[in-house]
Amino acid sequence: MKLSELKRRFLEYTEIEKGRSLKTIENYDRYLTRFFGFLKSEDPIDITDETVRDFRLYLNRQSTGNNRATGDTLKKKTQNYYLIALRSFLKYLARQNIASLPSDRIELAKVSDRQIDFITTDELRRLLDAPNGSDVKSLRDKAILELFFSTGLRVAELCSLTRDVDFSRDEFSIRGKGEKVRVVFLSDDARKAVKAYLSKRDDVDDALFVKVAMEKKFKGESMPLSRRSVERIVKYYATKAGIVSKKVTPHVIRHSFATDLLSNGADIRSVQTLLGHSSITTTQIYTHVTDKHLRDVHRKFHDKKP
């Protein structure tokens, strides 16, 4: 069977059997298509250590689209996306008893430790307080910010919410990455903010967060907020709150949610579950900015005068 046909079947399997999002399927398709174009073969047996090595060299020498003049090449993290897609494809071939390169022959490039962006407690409070009007737009934006900090939701998860959620309770379920369901919890501030916003709504749209009249291009059009729209809202209020030296995004508020829990004594396994991380390694990126014990040790023992 040709690689192009195997790729089609793999993508369908990944979508249906593995439950991956359409965005993931789209990315896998793009990464594999680029690799197969480089390979110039339709035979799975031609995927070898040597062809993968040559492809990695090819990726490592590619200039990024916006930085050709500076000579910047693809980041190691971006290169790894191609390798992850290829490794998943090879695992699929093995399950189908199709001869090709074993997936464990592919090693990811080493990347530097992830640096997380975060804002201070004071900056966070100013951000949450920035929408202070009583109009529906201000109430909506206040509810968005409070909900982000209360639940640690990803922006796509927030955009997927509908009015079916029972906000009279202090918890609700959300379907996140990989179709995994987890429970998130509402603070009193978040519940009050959402309730105030919904009481001001006069439309019948099912989406929880929608564009208001002044933001719509066409009257009567159903306009749930997109991911990009939510990102613009967060950026706007960060600027209004005077946070201009940092890039503030919905994910930064998610960072604040995690660091707030850890700083106040939550165990990392619980935070992993609340964030919906499949691996504890992902959650561990927060520990170096929240390790109160290390700060206490530093204060107690560093630079003591005789």
Burial of residue 118, with CB atoms counted within 10 A of its CB: 0-12 exposed, 13-18 middle, 19 or more buried: middle
Q: Is the alpha carbon torsion for 118, 121, 126, 132 positive or negative?
A: positive
pLDDT at residue 264, rounded to an integer: 84
What is the overall mean pLDDT for the chain?
A: 88
Reported confidence tier of residue 174, pLDDT bands at 50, 70, 90: very high
What was the pLDDT predicted at 29?
97
Within its chain, how far is the Cα of 274 from the centroid? 14
Band (10; pLDDT cuts 50, 70, 90): very high
96 — pLDDT class (breaks 50, 70, 90): very high
Q: Is residue 187 scored above 70 in pLDDT?
A: yes
Catalytic residues: 154, 177, 251, 254, 277, 286
End-to-end CA distance of the chain: 77
Spatial separation of the C-alpha atoms in residues 184 and 150, rounded to whole Å: 8
In this predicted model, which residue has the larger pLDDT, 69 or 205?
Answer: 205
pLDDT confidence of residue 288: 64
Domain 121-295 CATH class label: mainly alpha
Which pLDDT band holds residue 71 (cuts at 50, 70, 90)? Answer: low
The model's pLDDT over 224-279, given as tens digits with 9 standing for 90+, comes to 999 999 999 999 999 999 998 889 999 999 999 998 888 888 888 998 999 998 88
More confident residue, 266 or 296: 266
> In the chain, what percentage of residues exceed pLDDT 90?
61
Indicate the pLDDT class of residue 303, thresholds 50, 70 and 90: low
Q: What is the pLDDT of residues 105-163, one digit of tens each?
A: 999 888 765 666 778 899 999 999 999 999 999 999 999 999 999 999 999 999 999 99
pLDDT of residue 306: 57
| pLDDT score recorded for residue 112 | 67
* CA distance readout (Å), 200 to 135, 159, 192, 194, 203: 8, 19, 13, 10, 9
SS (H, E, C) 52-81: HHHHHHHHHCCECCCCCCCCCECCHHHHHH
**pLDDT beyond 80 at 292:** no
pLDDT at res. 33: 96
Q: Which pLDDT value is given to residue 212?
A: 85
Q: What is the pLDDT of residues 73-91, one digit of tens each?
A: 888 889 999 999 999 999 9
pLDDT at 21: 81
Q: How many CB atoms lie within 10 A of CB 248?
A: 24
Q: What is the average per-residue pLDDT within 57-61?
A: 92
Q: Give the residue-averaged pLDDT of 174-198.
A: 91
CATH number for region 3-105: 1.10.150.130
Confidence of residue 301 (pLDDT cuts 50, 70, 90): confident
pTM check: above 0.85: no
- Domain locations in the chain as residue ranges: 3-105, 121-295
CA distance 209 to 222: 11
